[in-house]
Amino acid sequence: MKWSEFPKWGKWAADWAANYHAGLRNRPVRAQTQPGDVLNALPVSPPDQAQPIEDVIADFERIVMPGITHWQHPRFFAYFPSNASPAAVLADNLVTAMAPQCMLWQTSPAATEMETRMMDWLRQGLGLPDGFSGVIQDSASSATLAAVLVMRERALNWDGNASGLPGQKPLRIYCSDEVHTSVDRAIWVAGIGQANLVRIPTQGPLRSMNIKALEAQIKADLDAGYLPAGIVACVGGTGTGACDDIAATCAVAQKYNIYTHVDAAWAGSAMICPEYRDLWEGVNQADSIVFNPHKWLGTQFDLSAHFVKSPEALTQTLAIQPEYLKTHGADGIINYSEWSVPLGRRFRALKLWFMIRAYGLDGLRQMIRNHVNWSQDLAEKLRAAPDFEIVTEPVLSLFTFRFTPEGQDADQATMNLLNAINDEGRIYLTQTRTQGKQVIRFQAGQFDCTAEDIQFAFDVIIETAKSLKDT
């Protein structure tokens, strides 16, 4: 394929994308394929001869599309959302055509300076003070890894990279059971070891770390010769939306000179609405915060916003300058690759610029408020329905519930309900366990979701439960 043919196929792709989105409600949300279907439909060996793009497109429809789970479906209520907005997709198309590699200011000045400005727009949007600087990471997992590496280096007096961990006091990182597994992986990769990730028990309606237990553990660790290095707190944990008390956590961290990272991967987007900010009260005191605009703000995967009080701590941990990466004669510039683990970086800030301008913060706020209100309405309807129990109350637009028909094991009945709903495919939900109970998670967050889609979800849940009860 030549660039001269691109306008024809680019137009085809744009029409395809618009039609795809317009027709999503007619598709099952979850892929209906069996393991191996797509793999077996793909030739075992690559072609030696060029093939017409028409054939590739026909195979795309035939082989690929049936194997897609539709994250952009308005009735996708599983996991967390992963939105693509048309404005951000347009920006990504432009970026893909230019394909710049934005590791250094010099290799893409526009990407670097756009990133600086967009991260500051986001900072203001979230109501964070101007003491925070931002960088775009590819994922929240990468941001958390970067933060844990800073915890390690800072605690080791910036000598861990040089000397390694042997011979050092064992480091300790603290978090609750509600944090995402990306924290465990960061601990493994940083060489700190799972045994030194200390779980603090949770309490209260938001399943927050027990602050007294946190402080007692830090003191005990100090007495036992460990080196407390960091706390990872969560706002909007993956399972049930748990939120730590950020103000109290940061107060303990400051008392013991410990670095604090706040993982608000999902819930952070909602902080553009001032009325939800009490969920992370005290966040101004944190050292590091991550949230994912690729989840609830419509800048399709991948775009993770990482704010830090001290960029110097990040660069002291991660910057490395072999001769070929030196930008001679360019003083005072930012090379964002020094703020992250990967060297290469895409031009992600452009889609933030397009998206924020195309919707305005008010447009985005309205969308998030709608999701929260509709989801809370659904929780009330399910609470009032026979045989349903709300297990965790809504945190923003996420709550959990279970099916409790009389005479049946509720865990089993709940899983039967979930599987029946997902196999049928009109809506998509996922499960978790909390308080020793099997529960179904519900979250609303897809950009095209309407109040009718939430009512539709209620009807599907009730109808499916009834049919299971009758059989």
User: Which residues lie near ligand PLP (CB under 6 A)?
Assistant: 80, 139-141, 180, 182, 237-238, 263, 265-266, 292, 304
Q: Pick between residue 123 and residue 306 the one whose CB is nearest to ligand PLP.
A: 306
How far apart are CB 207 and ligand PLP at their closest, in Å? 13
Q: Pick between residue 304 and residue 337 the one whose CB is nearest to ligand PLP.
A: 304
How far apart are CB 455 and ligand PLP at their closest, in Å? 26
**Angle, vertex CA 86, rays to CA 11 and CA 139, nearest 5:** 120
DSSP assignment of 83-100: ---HHHHHHHHHHHHH--
Q: Pick between residue 183 and residue 413 the one whose CB is nearest to ligand PLP.
A: 183
How far apart are CB 368 and ligand PLP at their closest, in Å? 16
**Angle, vertex CA 25, rays to CA 19 and CA 26, nearest 5:** 80
Task: Specify the residue for token string 């303990």.
Answer: 252
**Residues whose CB is less than 8 angstroms from the CB of residue 450 and which lie 6 or more positions away in sequence, other chains included:** 74
Helices and strands: H and E segment counts in the chain: 15, 13
How far apart are CB 140 and ligand PLP at their closest, in Å? 4
Q: Pick between residue 135 and residue 140 the one whose CB is nearest to ligand PLP.
A: 140
Q: Pick between residue 300 and residue 416 the one whose CB is nearest to ligand PLP.
A: 300
Asked if residues 78 and 431 have their Cβ atoms less than 8 Å apart, the reply is: no
Q: Pick between residue 104 and residue 289 the one whose CB is nearest to ligand PLP.
A: 289
Asked if residues 176 and 244 have their Cβ atoms less than 8 Å apart, the reply is: yes
How far apart are CB 268 and ligand PLP at their closest, in Å? 9
SS3 (DSSP) at 256 = coil
Asked if residues 237 and 178 have their Cβ atoms less than 8 Å apart, the reply is: yes
Q: Pick between residue 265 and residue 454 the one whose CB is nearest to ligand PLP.
A: 265
Q: Pick between residue 76 and residue 403 the one whose CB is nearest to ligand PLP.
A: 76
Query: End-to-end alpha-carbon separation of the chain, Å?
Result: 56
Instruction: List the one residue out of 46, 68, 70 whose CA is nearest residue 56.
Output: 46
Q: Pick between residue 244 and residue 387 the one whose CB is nearest to ligand PLP.
A: 244
How far apart are CB 418 and ligand PLP at their closest, in Å? 19
How far apart are CB 139 and ligand PLP at their closest, in Å? 3
Q: Pick between residue 357 and residue 433 the one whose CB is nearest to ligand PLP.
A: 433
The first and second tokens of residue 460, run together, are: 């599907």
How far apart are CB 6 and ligand PLP at their closest, in Å? 31
**Maximum distance among all alpha carbons in the chain?**
77
The first and second tokens of residue 227, run together, are: 């080196």
Angle between the 349-384 and 451-470 helix axes, to the nearest 10 degrees? 40
How far apart are CB 21 and ligand PLP at their closest, in Å? 23
How much is the CA Rg of the chain, to the nearest whole Å?
24
The first and second tokens of residue 185, run together, are: 């992986």
Residue 169 DSSP one-character state: P
SS3 (DSSP) at 101 = coil
Pairing of strands 388-395, 133-137: unpaired
How far apart are CB 71 and ligand PLP at their closest, in Å? 12
How far apart are CB 80 and ligand PLP at their closest, in Å? 5
Instruction: List the one residue out of 197, 373, 172 whose CA is nearest residue 270.
Output: 373
Residue 34 DSSP one-character state: P
Q: Pick between residue 265 and residue 350 the one whose CB is nearest to ligand PLP.
A: 265
Instruction: List the one residue out of 27, 306, 373 whose CA is nearest residue 142.
Output: 306
How far apart are CB 189 and ligand PLP at their closest, in Å? 13
CA-CA distance, 187 to 167, in Å (whole number)? Answer: 18
Asked if residues 418 and 429 have their Cβ atoms less than 8 Å apart, the reply is: yes
Residue 159 DSSP one-character state: -
Q: Pick between residue 292 and residue 438 the one whose CB is nearest to ligand PLP.
A: 292
CA-CA distance, 177 to 175, in Å (whole number)? Answer: 7
